[in-house]
């Protein structure tokens, strides 16, 4: 199959080189089923420096992108969404698609949480916005796999094909197992006292009336004997965190990886959706305790208030761009392995926005990640939070040439850099928050990543 595919693609390349109508050609064929994580693993050995992994909570859409034939990026903090949308449209006009299966060209990537916050070395290579057109894309929808190869027309395309050829040969072998997870050497948090002081300060500001809610995050650095292999981490996340978006975005050995329960937005034609997630409590040790904690969460005034800020904002925004908006009257419970959340799914019909990137712009950051009112919460985060969030808590996902796509928020995540994994977690602070309980809540939110990295906590 790989040989036939390669041959057809090469012929197509020559045809297009002769016509030179568009600078990129993309070819999609049905593909034999391969474990997406195994496919992801082949990237570095074939010389691809960029890797992207995406799986939606139901596992009905899995995307694995390797390499980059075109990278769109900006550090223009003020207009980054509009600029990326313009670049996306331009890109769509530059590529022509062929093959047995219709696959609109797709870009994957992310945005930083706050482009106006100074970037530290930790997040170098993660600009205010970045979208990548992968050289090879494995798509598995409802269990059916297809492969898309995109190459530049002309001599560069021939060279790119060499790399793609190596991948196609290797991908059919599927022999490798991911490296075992390395041993933990140290587990350090530099600013936990400062974080608690920031929470106290935020509560004071909220009680004084200068804002209603702010989400404050903290980070913890785990050091290992060797670099953790993102594929090994993905395999564990897939096993341990069903019902989450699994994501990994890697470039030049730095990988943002996680299992996020929170959809920011999706758009398919005229329908769009988002999930409001805010308000949390741990899982119970027994079914009875778990049910009691869930019932408490649904009735708790502080958590309901924290949740309603998100619901009101998303409902208002969807109402401004859709013909009709649907959502349940009361928040539901989303039960994850370590934590349960108040959850309200929102659906918009007759969406007037042509691109999901515009919806990302309108929604980011929701009060589940920033606070309320938005600008004051962002100012409070800038002045109080002792860390550079980078892409943590920010939009991560994909968009295609038709403007459709799906985006999650990059929470329950870690940045893998060399032998280190930097873990992030935040929580919504409102007037009645208690700093120690909020600290404990962020510890619970870090557990999925700790466990995926093989770090066993006793509690």
Ligand X SMILES: C=C(O[C@H]1C=CC=C(C(=O)O)[C@@H]1O)C(=O)O
215 interacts with ligand X by CB under 6 A = yes
d(CA 56, CA 457): 27
- What does the block give as tokens for 240? 């341990």
One residue of 359, 427, 453, 455 binding ligand X per CB under 6 A = 427
- Our CB check for ligand X shows the closer of 217 and 384 to be 217
Q: Does 396 bind ligand X (CB under 6 A)?
A: no
User: Binding string, 49-88, against ligand X, x = CB under 6 A?
Assistant: ----------------------------------------
Q: Which two tokens stand for residue 417?
A: 């850099």
| DSSP code at position 46 | G
Note whether 415 binds ligand X by CB under 6 A. no
d(CA 234, CA 247): 8
* Residue count, binding to ligand X (CB under 6 A): 18
x/- mask, ligand X, residues 233-272, rule CB under 6 A, reads: -----------------------------x----------
Minimum distance between the CB of residue 217 and ligand X, rounded to whole angstroms? Answer: 6
The span of 33-41, 97-105, 190-198, 423-431 binding ligand X (CB under 6 A) equals 423-431
Query: Measured from the CB of residue 391, what is the shortest distance to ligand X in angstroms?
Result: 13
> Is-catalytic flag, 305?
no
Answer for the pair 214, 429: CB distance below 8 angstroms, yes or no.
Answer: yes
Question: Checking DSSP bridges between strand 339-349 and strand 332-335, what pairing results, if any?
Answer: antiparallel
Long-range contacts of 161-166 (CB under 8 A, 24+ apart): 161/6, 161/9, 161/10, 161/13, 163/46, 163/47, 163/48, 163/67, 163/135, 164/6, 164/9, 164/135, 164/136, 165/2, 165/6, 166/46, 166/47
Of 87, 130, 213, 267, catalytic = 213
213 assigned to active site: yes
73: closest CA among 59, 54, 58, 86? 86
Judged by CB under 6 A, the residue of 278, 311, 359, 387 near ligand X is 278
Among 128, 136, 222, 425, binds ligand X (CB under 6 A): 425
Binding mask 325-364 for ligand X (x = CB under 6 A): ----------------x-----------------------
Among residues 412, 422, 448, 453, which is the contact residue for ligand X, using CB under 6 A?
412
In degrees and rounded to multiples of 5, residue 124 shows phi and psi of -60, 150
CB of 178 to ligand X, least distance (A): 26
Interface with ligand X, residue 426, by CB under 6 A: yes
Q: Supply 298's token pair.
A: 């649904």
Cβ proximity to ligand X: between 256 and 427 the closer is: 427
Q: What are phi and psi of 380, to 5 degrees?
A: -65, -40
C-beta of 51 vs 412, nearer to ligand X: 412
Indicate which single residue of 41, 198, 368, 455 sits in contact with ligand X (rule: CB under 6 A). Answer: 368
Contact 18, 207 (CB under 8 A): no
Q: How far apart are CA 16 and CA 20, in angstroms?
A: 5
Q: Taking the chain, what is the end-to-end CA distance rounded to the nearest angstrom?
A: 50
393 part of the interface to ligand X, by CB under 6 A: yes
**Considering 73, 85, 250, 262, which one is annotated as catalytic?**
262
Residue 446 CB, shortest distance to ligand X, in Å, is: 8
Look up residue 131 and give its two tokens. Answer: 């979208």
428 binds ligand X (CB under 6 A): yes
On whether the CB atoms of residues 202 and 380 are closer than 8 A, the answer is yes
The residues annotated with a catalytic role in the active site are 213, 262
Site residues (CB under 6 A) for ligand X?
215, 217, 262, 277-280, 341, 368-369, 393, 411-412, 425-428, 445
């Amino acid at each position: 199959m790989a040989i036939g595919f390669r041959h057809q693609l090469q012929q197509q390349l020559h045809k297009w080189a002769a016509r030179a109508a568009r600078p990129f050609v993309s070819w999609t064929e049905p593909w034999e089923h391969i474990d997406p994580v195994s496919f992801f693993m082949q990237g570095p050995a074939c010389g691809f420096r960029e890797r992207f992994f995406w799986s939606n909570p139901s596992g009905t859409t899995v995307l694995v992108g390797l390499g980059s034939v075109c990278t769109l990026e900006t550090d223009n903090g003020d207009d980054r969404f509009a600029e990326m949308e313009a670049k996306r449209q331009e890109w769509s006009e530059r590529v022509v698609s062929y093959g047995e299966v219709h696959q609109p060209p797709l870009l994957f990537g992310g945005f930083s949480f706050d482009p106006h916050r100074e970037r530290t070395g930790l997040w170098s290579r993660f600009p205010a916005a970045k979208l990548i057109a992968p050289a090879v894309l494995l798509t598995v929808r409802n269990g059916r796999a297809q492969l898309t190869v995109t190459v530049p027309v002309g001599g560069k395309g021939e060279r790119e094909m060499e790399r793609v050829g190596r991948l196609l040969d290797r991908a059919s072998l599927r022999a490798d197992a991911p490296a075992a997870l390395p041993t933990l050497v140290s587990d350090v948090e530099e600013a936990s006292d400062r974080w608690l002081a920031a929470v106290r300060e935020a509560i004071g500001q909220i009680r004084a009336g200068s804002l209603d809610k702010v989400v404050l995050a903290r980070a913890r650095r785990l050091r290992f004997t060797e670099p953790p292999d993102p594929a090994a981490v993905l395999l564990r996340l897939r096993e341990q965190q069903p019902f989450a978006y699994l994501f990994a975005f890697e470039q030049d050995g730095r990988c943002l990886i996680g299992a996020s329960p929170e959809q920011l937005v999706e758009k398919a034609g005229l329908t769009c959706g988002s999930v409001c997630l805010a308000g949390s409590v741990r899982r119970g040790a027994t079914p009875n305790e778990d049910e009691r904690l869930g019932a408490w969460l649904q009735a708790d005034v502080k958590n309901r208030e924290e949740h309603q800020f998100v619901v009101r904002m998303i409902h208002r925004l969807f109402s401004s761009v859709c013909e009709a908006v649907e959502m349940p009257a009361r928040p539901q419970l989303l039960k994850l392995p370590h934590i349960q959340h108040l959850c309200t799914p929102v659906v918009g019909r007759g969406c007037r926005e042509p691109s999901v990137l515009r919806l990302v712009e309108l929604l980011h950051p929701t009060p589940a990640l920033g606070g309320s009112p938005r600008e004051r919460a962002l100012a409070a985060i800038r002045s109080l939070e002792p860390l550079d969030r980078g892409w943590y808590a920010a939009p991560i996902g994909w968009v295609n040439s038709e403007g459709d796509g799906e985006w999650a928020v990059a929470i329950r995540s870690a940045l893998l850099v060399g032998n280190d994994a930097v873990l992030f977690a935040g929580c919504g602070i409102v007037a009645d928050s208690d700093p120690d309980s909020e600290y404990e809540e962020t510890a619970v939110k870090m557990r999925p990543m700790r466990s995926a990295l093989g770090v066993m906590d006793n509690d």
